[in-house]
Amino acid sequence: MPFSGAAPNSKRPLVDAANRVRKTVYLSLGSNLGDRAKNLKDAIAALGDASVQVVGASSVYETEPVDYLDQPWFLNCAVEAETELGALELLRALRGIEAQMGSKKLIAKGPRLIDIDILFYGSDVIDTPELQVPHPRMHLRRFVLEPVAEIAPQLRHPILKMSAAEMLANSQEKSVVRKL
């Protein structure tokens, strides 16, 4: 039987490649440096090379910065995708795309060439120092909720028990989010 993963004497567990589970994931993408629209398109195109098959994408939204306000406006979108990558493997693949595109996170919540966040990984709840899913602040961010509600209005948050459309309707955040 073929296996992927580490050698038998390694401390990493062996994973039976045939037993990998295909997960539906939702990602948020944002860019506020350089050619923002091209950055989003390039990042979405790179997902396929990272074993992430995009099955749907939202419109692109121009959004006002939140938290760190002294920076250019963002372009944001959301994608629905399928992958057999584990959650941490997916996170590492997304960080790899960001790095390959030259994105650097010099200031927390500051300007970036590209930022890709995992919003949902199936209906899983993950809480580790490296990854929190569902994204812990997504329900507070209109720049995330507008695109997600566009492509998956009935998508349910496994902790809040609200749909994307309900989270958007209940959002108190008032930043400008406009569809392009």
pTM comes to: 0.88
Q: What is the pLDDT of residue 109?
A: 78
C-alpha span between 73 and 174 (Å, rounded): 15
Distance between first and last Cα of the chain? 50
Instruction: Give the torsion through C-alpha atoms of 153, 87, 124, 165, to 10 deg.
Output: -10
Domains in the chain, CATH or no CATH each: 20-179 (3.30.70.560)
Asked whether the bond before 134 is cis by omega within 30 degrees of 0, the reply is yes
* Structure tokens that stand for 168 in this block: 């958007």
What are the pLDDT tens digits along the chain (180 aa)? 333 343 344 444 444 555 679 999 999 999 999 999 999 999 999 999 999 999 999 999 999 998 888 899 999 999 999 999 999 999 999 999 999 999 987 777 789 999 999 999 999 999 999 999 999 999 999 999 999 999 999 999 999 999 999 999 999 999 999 999
C-alpha span between 86 and 61 (Å, rounded): 29
Q: What is the pLDDT of residue 108?
A: 76
C-alpha span between 143 and 127 (Å, rounded): 23
